[in-house]
Amino acid sequence: MKNNSQNFFDMFNANDDLKINALLSANINFNCIQLAVKYDLFTHLEDGINELNSLAKKNDFIPSRLYRLLKCLENINLIKETSDKNFYLTRMGERFLPNKKGNYANLTNLWSTEFYKAAENIDKALRSEKSAFECTHNESLYSYFNKYPERATTFNLAMRDLSENLNKNALYEMDLSTVKSIADVGGGSGASIRNMITQNAHLHGILFDQKSVIDSAMKEMEDFQYKNRVELISGDFFKPLPFKVDCIVLSNIIHNWNDEKAVQILTNCRKALNESGKIYLIEAALESSIEPLLARTMDFAMLLLTEGKERTFSEFEKLFHLANLKFESAKNVLNMTCLIEVKEK
């Protein structure tokens, strides 16, 4: 007998007890996603291996037990059983295919390994000035990934995909009509600079990041149609930047750092601007009419992973003042993030 079409997300329209149990069971749902990513279940479904026994055979699973995992994935709208013991990907499920642009497979990998382990020490972060990640691994997030290139690749890909999903619409909100040169500072794999260059035929761009990141980004830039309009430069944004441009983009950079380091980054960026230049920050602004829906969750994630935080407007204004910058404008972008514009005083 078929059940009704209710799923996990319907619980948030239900009574308080169901809502509470939905929240408490979130980790179970994540474990199901993590297993599906680890054992390529989403990829197998995409490849046409849809029948339960065939899926089970791929990883030597017991079919009846795999079925329970698949039904949990169906309950959170990632797959659908359309006939007896046959499953297919939903639109949301396709977002976990590792070969798809803007997928969540790499981020799932991180949250099920290094990040998950760090979460066990979140109480230590509440009693110190260190992140839970540093309390766990005895070094900062970035120092850790510098030591493990293979994991750094996963991290960089996860940040690329997250940027593609959360920030791409903010790029379209930027006024680049009078901008001739633009730099994405800390731009990772270059997904954002490629978007900006593609959308603005008059622009020349710079992708600036650490050498290891730039070395990896070069591979992704090889097939880019407009690569002749993008320059890749490696360096350290805590030191003077080796270029001058009309506009700089800092996409989810400032929230990774404490106030002192954030001011240093902003100051170096200001000094790299041409006359009348501007800086766009893509960040979540707290305690404001434009606070994104997940801003508080993101802020707690910063406590877990970095020495930084999401900031209120008054905290941003303090940073801007110390970096000799003035606030120009800010807007909410699809309830996912905020776009903040600043210029030199």
Predicted confidence (pLDDT) per residue in 220-239, tens digit: 899 999 999 999 999 999 99
Residue type, 279: I
Residue among 294, 285, 307 at smallest CA distance from 125: 307
Residue holding tokens 């992973």?
Answer: 305
Phi, psi of 282 (to 5 degrees): -105, 105
**Two structure tokens written together for 247:** 């506009």
Sign, CA torsion 11/13/18/24 = positive
Long-range contacts (CB closer than 8 Å, 24 or more residues apart) made by 255-258: 255/283, 255/284, 255/298, 255/302, 255/306, 255/308, 255/309, 255/310, 255/311, 256/302, 256/306, 256/307, 256/308, 257/306, 257/307, 257/308, 258/307, 258/308
pLDDT on residue 162? 86
Confidence band for 2, pLDDT divided at 50, 70 and 90: very low
Residue among 103, 100, 74, 109 at smallest CA distance from 89: 74
Could you give the residue range(s) of every CATH 1.10.10.10 domain in the chain?
8-96
Measured distance CA(264)–CA(260) in Å, rounded: 6
pTM, 2 dp: 0.90
Measured distance CA(43)–CA(23) in Å, rounded: 28
CATH topology of domain 168-344: Rossmann fold (3.40.50)
Average pLDDT over residues 38-66: 97
Long-range contacts (CB closer than 8 Å, 24 or more residues apart) made by 207-211: 207/183, 207/231, 207/232, 207/233, 208/183, 208/184, 208/233, 208/234, 208/235, 208/237, 208/241, 208/243, 209/185, 209/234, 210/234, 210/235, 210/236, 211/235
Catalytic residue among 44, 202, 255, 321: 255
Confidence band for 1, pLDDT divided at 50, 70 and 90: very low
Number of neighbours of residue 62 by Cβ within 10 angstroms:
9
- The SS3 of residue 97 is coil
Provide the mean pLDDT of the chain.
93
CATH of 8-96 among 3.40.50.2300, 3.90.1520.10, 1.10.10.10, 1.20.81.30: 1.10.10.10
Check pLDDT > 80 for residue 11: no
Can 137 be counted among the known catalytic residues? no
User: pLDDT, tens digit, for every residue of 265-289?
Assistant: 999 999 999 999 999 999 999 988 9
Burial of 314 by CB count in 10 Å (0-12 exposed, 13-18 middle, 19+ buried)?
A: exposed
The mean-pLDDT minimum among 8-12, 87-91, 258-262, 337-341 falls in 8-12
Check pLDDT > 90 for residue 14: no
Average pLDDT over residues 81-96: 94
Could you give the residue range(s) of every CATH 3.40.50.150 domain in the chain?
168-344
Task: Determine contact, residues 279/266, Cβ cutoff 8 Å.
Answer: yes
Residue among 263, 155, 275 at smallest CA distance from 209: 155
Given 3-state DSSP classes, what are the helix, strand and coil percentages for the chain, each rounded to the nearest 5?
50, 20, 30
Measured distance CA(66)–CA(39) in Å, rounded: 11
